[in-house]
A and B are shown apart, each in its own frame.
Chain A
Amino acid sequence: MNSSGLWRTGNIVDLFPEMQRLQRDMNRLFTGIPRAVGQENPAINVWSGENDYIVTAELAGIDPHKLDISVKGDGLTFSGNHGVEPLKEGETYHRQERASGRFSRTVQLPFQIDSEKVTAKYEKGVLRMTLPRLKSDKPRKISIKAE
């Protein structure tokens, strides 16, 4: 027999990541929620008001002074570093699940943002940005004349 089958070529340990991936795909299939939707990092919630939008993101343990928020036109970008500190010598991880490294997210809003009036607040690990609509971009009310 000349099959170059799985069991002949590969070590069984090599299959483990593949099985995990399969399991994840199966879970996704059966729960019906495409998890890929939220893959962007970090996840955001958006609230709309009459004159502004509020964007929130859960970013536990970051240094708010190193957070970078920029606004241009109708786009908002915020980026920074997750606050996981590297271990000192002699310390070892038992479990490591928290995000580390850099994050960056760009959001496009349905209006031009008044960049002068943007405010941001970081509290209890939640970032909240308030983005007012530019005055010149506000919708005009059109009155209808009855004949």
Chain B
Amino acid sequence: MDNKDMDTQKQPAGNTLETERTKTGKVFVPRVDIYETQDSIVLTADMPGVDEKAVDITLEKNVLTITGSVAVTGFEGHAMAYSEYDVGDFERAFTISDEVDRDKIEATVKNGVLRVILHKAEKVKARKIAITAA
């Protein structure tokens, strides 16, 4: 993908859950890649400033919500001189289908990237059908 055409600014979130937050501060929608492998659906989200302790994943009914809280910090003895991006929490929700095995969701955070692996339920795993030449 050509980077020059990409919008590099973070998108401010609408209220994804139509509820109010108890914490003030900005919330952003993380950029997400979702891809499907043979037995799983993998979601990766850019959440810079988030580590494994600050991330929260919930699955309620069929809504998967990912949140990451980022501590807004300054640097001692330094004043902000110029700013192109804002710092704040991340939040996003996805509707997932029944195909996902709810008891087998894995998540890791590395270098500010959250990776959630949703394993497909046994019954929906595609069966390979061998085609024989006539």
Contact = CB atoms under 8 A, between A and B. Distances in A.
A122 B9 contact: no
Contacts of B8: 38-43, 99
A50 B77 contact: yes
B68 to A, nearest CB: 10
Interface of A is mostly: loop
Given A47-B79, A92-B36, 9 more contacts: A49-B75, A60-B48, A60-B112, A90-B37, A91-B37, A93-B35, A98-B31, A100-B3, A126-B49
Interface residues of A, number: 46
B95 interface: no
Interface in B1-52: 1-4, 6-9, 31-38, 41, 44, 46-51
Contact of A126 (B1, B37, B112): B112
B113 interface: yes
Nearest to B54: A124
Interface of B: 1-4, 6-9, 31-38, 41, 44, 46-51, 74-75, 77-85, 110-113
List of 6 A-B pairs having minimum Cβ-Cβ separation, nearest first: A125-B112, A125-B48, A58-B48, A60-B112, A61-B113, A43-B84
Contacts of B84: 37-38, 40, 43-45
A95 B33 contact: yes
